[in-house]
Structure 1
């Protein structure tokens, strides 16, 4: 009897505890902005939320309506919905943050020195891995060679991915371990760059990268946890509260499920299963997955079309302007596409297909159209990831086929120094053509493609609005007719990114009933010169009403 009374007393105390009776929270003294579906840009000065979800946005009248709310003074700062990166690679970002970064190198030799310094500081690593080289930014614009690395590091294998992750630069030790020599054939969808004698130079394009990458140390649960934690903290510090993770393996999918079950995810993940994974059939048969707190959703597949423009791997209908007779590469063989599209759509999954060149985009559109006729699925909000170079006659097909354009504004400002060299002025009319898509009513979801590009979403907003680099070049913006308005750009990083993940009912703005994912930043992006948007700093990041940064 005493134990029964003790239990009742304990339950009564718990019921009356501050946790269960917690008052709503109220952020006031802010300049808030979000996109409303019909009205466009909405503004507010007060945000009220409770149990992780928004109760109301409005003006100071809400202070009287919620007198018991816990008040947080926003100190006049700007409040925005948490930003979504609609195309990134979370675990790769985390791994890259733990590897040598040669993104800022001024030459192949300087990059090789950075690798050697990193190797000296990390003697425990069997392989030296890194990322970020871009020969287009070097004085001679030539591809690096194994010889550059061999001068600095001979005893350990080196594997460095290009900035677009569609090429790898390796040293002779790595070539030796992989058994790559002049007699090694190019794999389908890949190319081993060779010298005049047919010997490998040390650069591997697209599928040829796998000849070496398969030798890298395997991921473990511990390494995945470290990568996820490192990437999550970095992304949250930049104001990103949700990421569409573009292509995860079966192992990574299971890891994410375990993390969300344990309550370990600190940012939202909309994960795309990698179409290239050998377990794709089994993963599709498992069906979609969504956690109740919307921290993890798996209901889409990432397909791999072609390579990238910078490494001349993007598949083009006509040859490259600066390399006649070369049309780029299809990473997935063209004859395999119909069955793949039918398989994904037939299981009710959204299909998000990587296509950069105009040939890859046309093949994607053609195969979506054929798959609709055979298995249906037009209402699944399929996407073309990048949609970078599209013929003018193919752009309207995005609208006709209900395809979302998942595009990365920073790609335009990164590529503007070489894009015309690669494809010429005429094909540029359908390249990075944001306004052409928006004008016809196509939904545009924005991202960065990190770690190909830096993850900072304010760099993306800046690029979308100005089409300039951070020095303000070119003066009027590159192909300025395709600039977005700031309202369009913010929508692409919030509400339309949520729509592209079937999440516009719970994310994308701060309407009542949605998750209280928001950020406080140090400047009003709607009240400063657009050229300064990239300098915006994130002061606080909140996910489901809890401060994560």
Structure 2
């Protein structure tokens, strides 16, 4: 019997909801329960929920707000992100836009100035694939900065880290150190660590990082929340939290201080996983916090050649990638999580990791059931052609991120070759097979702006309109399909389609006002959309300052 804890009910009973509000003079778009696009010009809100679209009348006491002809959309949902990771990224050195190893090191040097209070210098965002030499960075470029502190810089995808000699020394990583299973220590010709550690080897450094306090997490939450609300995101799926964050989120929910709706996935590697499963699902009646899923880790990322492939990498014939969860451990993990009534969301990027996940889902469903939990494969990035129909057959949702395709287009085919790329980033093929495709960004790996994701989904181009005809454009989505992926299908992937995802009477009044009509402009301009206002449960939570 599945256990569900709704212990927040009494605490949230006093949650203050707005009285009736009528917002008129808008150009509104939403989806109906069948997923078809509908339009409206006014929205009536009562007790934080949608009362009616285009009502014939409104309560006498209703507050009337002029929408000034702006476009209204349902609040957008990011089906895969890292909330505190984004906050951390916003508070630390950002290497996303660096064009070389030297420039990245210089950014670290500038950040370190005036940071005498920090024990470590940390950051994220470097991507050697965007540098001219496309080579992994080295500790020597950080050592030259003469910063007498350990330095640890996470690659943009979160699957590799770059350390200086001080950090390696502190962690005891030397020529004789063996990488843990599912990890790799990059070495020079003499076998010495160069400073880059991949996937599970990152733990050799990270276990020495200062522990994050509640104050730090609060600052991260505040920074991430403000940013996401400004981008029109009213709900997000947090892909992998430990027990400390689990407890932190519960406290923030009780205090009514979660800035947006959070559907949190418990990390499968957390030492307290069994206790969390025993407590059962956490479902807040106000929908601000739901914890009923587990995030497991199948492999690494394509950019660092950590994605597990059935055959060797096309540009590195000696490498097959890394399995972060050994195949033999998968049955126990799947059966335990699904048997506890938790949705299992499995990170799989390479075709081998995806096949192993699909195989194990199939076996677990036969033995223990659980197909109704709407289990997911996170990323589902490179899939063997014969495995594509299996998502629909098994009812496993491919949770995908459109901007990954436009970010990876310069290296993905190099990694997997012309044949395997046919099963990569296959959004349209998967939709046509009959499965829903929830969409997100994987922030802070990618930028959180959902209009960047909508643009990438329908054009298969970057924001410089490259390539001209789109990258494998046959896999592009229509705008309505992409819109559904960021609204109704993302809500469905969280078992929340009856509460959010559309502006349907009875659902929470989560919506945004934007500055242009995305359904009546050139597709190449979708990414330029600016959010003017963001509302959650009938309450304005963000308003863009007037220029």
TM-score by length of 2: 0.95
Q: Based on CA coordinates, which of the two structures has the bigger radius of gyration?
A: 1
Q: Determine the structure 2 residue equivalent to 1:217.
A: 210
Structure 1 position 355 matched with structure 2 position 329: no
Alignment of 1:45-444 (within 5 A): 45-58=41-54, 62=55, 64-66=57-59, 68-444=61-437
SS of the residue 1:444 aligns to: coil
SS of the residue 1:516 aligns to: coil
Contact 2:17/2:47 (8 A) holds in 1: no
| Inter-partner Cα distance in structure 1 for 2:16 and 2:366 | 53
Instruction: State the shift of 1:49 in Å.
Output: 0.3
Contact 1:54/1:515 (8 A) holds in 2: yes
Q: Determine the structure 2 residue equivalent to 1:15.
A: none
Unaligned runs of 5+ residues in structure 1 are: 1-18
Contact 2:22/2:42 (8 A) holds in 1: yes
SS of the residue 1:445 aligns to: coil
* 1:89-146 residue CA offsets vs partner (Å, 9 max, x unmatched): 0011111110000111110011001001101132211100000000010011111000
Structure 1 position 481 matched with structure 2 position 484: no
Q: Determine the structure 1 residue equivalent to 2:25.
A: 29
Contact 1:274/1:301 (8 A) holds in 2: yes
Which segment is superposed worse, 38-47 or 456-465? 38-47
Q: Pick closer, same or farther for the CA change 1:202–1:39 going to 2, 3 Å.
A: closer
Instruction: State the shift of 1:219 in Å.
Output: 1.1
Aligned length: 528
* 1:9-42 residue CA offsets vs partner (Å, 9 max, x unmatched): xxxxxxxxxx999751011111111112326101
Match of 1:460 among 447, 453, 469: 453
| Inter-partner Cα distance in structure 2 for 1:388 and 1:37 | 29
SS of the residue 1:176 aligns to: helix
Q: Which runs of 4+ in 1 moved over 3 A?
A: 19-23, 63-68
Instruction: State the shift of 1:373 in Å.
Output: 1.5
Q: Give the alignment's Cα RMSD to 1 decimal.
A: 1.3
| Inter-partner Cα distance in structure 2 for 1:208 and 1:446 | 30
Match of 1:490 among 466, 483, 486: 483
SS of the residue 1:515 aligns to: coil
Instruction: State the shift of 1:467 in Å.
Output: 0.6
TM-score by length of 1: 0.95
Unaligned runs of 5+ residues in structure 2 are: 1-14, 543-547
Q: Pick closer, same or farther for the CA change 1:522–1:381 going to 2, 3 Å.
A: same
| Inter-partner Cα distance in structure 1 for 2:483 and 2:199 | 33
Match of 1:539 among 508, 527, 532: 532
SS of the residue 1:49 aligns to: strand
SS of the residue 1:393 aligns to: helix
Instruction: State the shift of 1:70 in Å.
Output: 1.2
* 1:344-397 residue CA offsets vs partner (Å, 9 max, x unmatched): 011011000000000000000011011112211111100000000001100111
* 1:313-367 residue CA offsets vs partner (Å, 9 max, x unmatched): 0000000000002100011111111100000011011000000000000000011
Contact 1:154/1:173 (8 A) holds in 2: no
Contact 1:154/1:172 (8 A) holds in 2: no
